[in-house]
Structure 1
């Protein structure tokens, strides 16, 4: 919907059933009148980690007519190649208007299908990532990132070796040796931003393993102008690929990620790994913020 003041900007929070939980995202269901500077201005004014902008799909995308879109993401500072929580928010916003079912988005990272299903009156969106991969990080680069975090190497979990993981955006995965270490997040914003820009990272995925398939995570996001992301679907997808590739979980598994507790915005992300399919599925709810 577009008004004389411009396209309507909806506010949703993803990976929570409560407006006070999860990660807020802006959603513009019709961004056809906005150019790139205007989209960036909307995202900056809103101040959420990302805002999703929907326009007509490219002719070659495919999908069901009326259920396929181009989807772009802007942080307050720049465009982001892929954002999971804003995808979930946009999918639930669409499903409230056109009904649950299959959606297909053309994103800067590639096509992303989403299934929205209703269960007991609650809409739940499941996105499927683009093909993921992981790569090594050099010792000096990791040391620089740890210095910016103010995390001593002795506080890390050697069973969760640091890697750069990708499932639409690049994230540096670092394993914390304790829940207390994960809770202690007080980093050098400018220094970490500089490291991340040099390595082309979107967030850091800081992880503490609470059980075989249960993890607590946090996501610094200085490159987006945000100290921390409250629930990060793109990083969850990247982490799922990381955990499977390193043999930390079975090839077919359902992982539960808790995020946002340390920010006072608790959320839950479900990561689904399927045997024979390298892609990662991330599922969660979303609710409109009044």
Structure 2
């Protein structure tokens, strides 16, 4: 921060819940023009949320989005991350309260992310459209290390959901639990999982359990961000949408509901929309200001 620059206003919003006590809280700085990476990291660390977003207005905008296009950087308390879904939703809702609902465009390190914000019966909802996703296989030795760090025997995995690394702006290891009880019992080796995630360039581990054809429960350990668990993870939800579609686990046109944060006492709901012929994934949720 330059010596004479004013201290930026740091807003606090939760994403994927209409209640301040639910979803995933994020810090939002709507004008980060005078901040460098060190300033942003310090603010994120001071807040202690899993991620915070730092916006700068794009002076030339993007075609058709003049005045509603922004550059965005995302920081956890420990490091910068290329993309964060819940902080994107939080930022879009914060902007909508100031410039009105409608279409926004965020230029992130992962690529261009359009966001649409609407107000429905007093609740503000944002829908982000991911960058183009893809899946990678995980080596057997790396999978064994992940399970060892989690304390999960391989018999606790659902064989219908093969482990994969899924990307839709950031990389997430997708592992499916065979039972809800297995998902609920999360006590992992923080340092061991963190080391593996750094080596594989993972942002979170997306742990899932399928309740029904289109309803899932998810949890996301996030040790590389200095957080034991992320309460609601939009980037991982987008990656998971790509994962289930590519493996044929859901129809090409599908609307999925992901419940996250229940085991942390911060329940949230993420809506994942898949469209046939469009590889990108849409992730929607409500949000509100905290405090």
TM class by shorter-chain length? over 0.9
Cα distance in 2 for partners of 1:206, 1:61 equals: 36
SS of 2:78's equivalent? coil
**8 Å Cα contact 1:58/1:70 also seen in 2:** no
**8 Å Cα contact 2:61/2:67 also seen in 1:** no
Cα distance in 2 for partners of 1:203, 1:70 equals: 23
Aligned to 2:231: 230
Cα distance in 2 for partners of 1:63, 1:145 equals: 45
Deviation at residue 194 of structure 1 after TM alignment: 0.1
1:219-256 CA-to-partner distances (Å, cap 9, x unmatched) read 00000000000000000000000000000000000000
Deviation at residue 63 of structure 1 after TM alignment: 4.1
Say whether 1:130 aligns with 2:105.
no
Say whether 1:152 aligns with 2:141.
no
Aligned to 1:53: 54
Cα distance in 1 for partners of 2:131, 2:222 equals: 21
Aligned to 1:287: 288
Cα distance in 1 for partners of 2:155, 2:64 equals: 49
1:69-124 CA-to-partner distances (Å, cap 9, x unmatched) read 00110000111000000000000000001000000010000000000011112111
Say whether 1:98 aligns with 2:99.
yes
What 5-or-longer segments of structure 1 have no aligned partner?
none
Deviation at residue 60 of structure 1 after TM alignment: 7.1
Deviation at residue 56 of structure 1 after TM alignment: 2.2
Aligned in 2, Cα 1:109/1:4: closer, same or farther, shift over 3 Å?
closer
Q: How does 1:16-35 map to 2 (within 5 A)?
A: 16-35=17-36
> Where has structure 1 moved over 3 Å in runs of 4 or more?
58-63
Cα distance in 2 for partners of 1:87, 1:34 equals: 19
Greater shift in the superposed pair: 60-69 or 95-104: 60-69
TM (norm. structure 1) is 0.97
Aligned to 2:190: 189
TM (norm. structure 2) is 0.97
**8 Å Cα contact 1:63/1:104 also seen in 2:** no
Q: How does 1:155-194 map to 2 (within 5 A)?
A: 155-194=156-195
Aligned to 1:141: 142
Deviation at residue 66 of structure 1 after TM alignment: 1.2
SS of 1:174's equivalent? strand
Aligned in 2, Cα 1:58/1:177: closer, same or farther, shift over 3 Å?
farther
Cα distance in 1 for partners of 2:114, 2:148 equals: 38
The alignment of Structure 1 onto Structure 2 pairs a total of residues equal to 288
Aligned to 2:215: 214
Aligned to 1:272: 273
**8 Å Cα contact 1:63/1:103 also seen in 2:** no
Deviation at residue 149 of structure 1 after TM alignment: 0.5
Aligned to 2:264: 263
Cα distance in 2 for partners of 1:172, 1:59 equals: 37
Deviation at residue 58 of structure 1 after TM alignment: 6.7
